[in-house]
Amino acid sequence: MGFLVCGIDPGLGAMGYAVIDATPQRVRIVDTGVCRTDPKLSLPDRLAQLDADVTSLFDEHRPNVVAVEKLYAHYKHPRTAILMGHARGIILCAAGRMGVEVADLSATHVKRCLTGNGHASKENVQRAIQVTLGLDEAPQSPDVADALAIALCYAGNRSQALTESGSA
């Protein structure tokens, strides 16, 4: 087993995750999915549901690092940013409880890293994931594609840093 990176695209309604095993020579997908919360539940109950899912994910895979998208607030959608902030808080708290390193990556950095364009569309990210990982088809879920992109970007940056420092 190489270096396990858990990429997370935070969201209260749908949180995409991807666990990859990354070495300088290869990347292998270990697990992907989407954790969903019931919108009919109260906010505290949804956060508890998300916490249980994230804790279970970390318990199962024991990642070396959790790479998570930074909070982005668009003035037209402040409520979305607030709900994403709640979800990020749960993810960071679960990682902290388990003593797992956390890396914050901006969405534009991840998109630029993968596609060369910091404002790439969801479809472009999905196609870039397909090409980068040599998949037969692109991930159908944009949440999973984003989580894979976050994990791959972190792994690529880490691999490049190790190579430059002579540690690889």
Helix (H) or strand (E) holding 151: helix 142-165
Q: Is 104 a catalytic residue?
A: no
pLDDT band at 71 (very low <50, low <70, confident <90, very high): confident
Q: Which of 31, 69, 137, 146 is catalytic?
A: 69
Torsion angle defined by CA atoms of residues 165, 23, 112 and 64, in that order, rounded to the nearest 10 degrees: -90
Quote the longest CA-to-CA distance of the chain: 52
The alpha carbon dihedral of 105, 106, 109, 115 has a sign of positive
CATH of 3-165, one of 3.30.420.10, 3.30.460.10, 3.40.50.720, 2.40.37.10: 3.30.420.10
Q: Is 69 a catalytic residue?
A: yes
Residue boundaries of the structural domains of the chain: 3-165
Choose, from 9, 21, 53, 146, the residue flagged as catalytic. 9
From the candidates 31, 60, 137, 143, give the one annotated as an active-site residue.
143
pLDDT tens for 117-143 read 999 999 999 999 999 999 999 999 999
Residue 9 bears catalytic tag: yes
pLDDT of 99 strictly over 60: yes
Average pLDDT, the chain: 90
Enter the pTM of the model.
Answer: 0.90
